[in-house]
Amino acid sequence: MPQTSSLSTAEARREVVIQSAITVFARSGYLGTPVSAVAQGAKISTAYVFKLFPRKEDVFVAALSRCFQLIQDALEHGAQEATAQTPDAILDAMGQAYAHLITDRSLLMLQVHAQSAAGVPEIAAALRAGLEQIVSFVQTRSGASAEAVQRFMAYGQLCHLIVVAELDGNAAPWAQLLTKGIRHF
């Protein structure tokens, strides 16, 4: 008899809660989002969310961890699509893949909200773990120097600022200086 792999009801609902949490926390942040809003987005009861994730921090950390996994997946896809397998070409392709990924502002805003909620120890730890995951992945996958990886990460943060502050297309000289040579979709 062939083996079929399927998620249990709890595992499937856990996935639905994580997807809802990404969207809902991205919209109103950690402090501004009650677990009931995540439950409503997942179309399940708040009590069941708490059965899956005993604390609000656990829901947010699961969403943030998924966010970083989606980032790594996008970076890997970008690296595979690089025109050449050189560090610079891979970093460029990863950057383009990330720019495409953050057209879904939920992933971008979740990271921004994680930074603003880093006073919560569990969130700070998850943020550091996610950054470690991405920095290590980028350095290993691209073969780039530490300086190049630092620059890549710095440009990523600049991209966050440009998107969040809606600087694309802003004609002010200071905005033009920040956005020069950086494209967003």
Task: Report, as an integer, the average pLDDT of 43-66.
Answer: 97
Q: Quick one: pLDDT band at residue 163, thresholds 50, 70, 90?
A: confident
What's the rounded Cα separation, in Å, for the pair 157 and 9? 38
Q: What pLDDT score was predicted for residue 1?
A: 47
Task: Specify the number of domains making up the chain.
Answer: 1
Global pTM reads 0.90
pLDDT 10s digits, 59-87: 999 999 999 999 999 999 999 999 999 99
Q: What pLDDT score was predicted for residue 135?
A: 98
* Domain of residue 68, CATH code: 1.10.357.10
CB 28 within 8 A of CB 109: no
Q: What pLDDT score was predicted for residue 151?
A: 96
63 is a domain residue: yes
pLDDT 10s digits, 113-160: 999 999 999 999 999 999 999 999 999 999 999 999 999 999 999 988
151 is a domain residue: yes
Residue of 12 and 121 predicted with greater confidence: 121
140 is a domain residue: yes
**What residues make up the domain containing 130?**
9-179
What's the rounded Cα separation, in Å, for the pair 47 and 65? 22
What's the rounded Cα separation, in Å, for the pair 184 and 168? 8
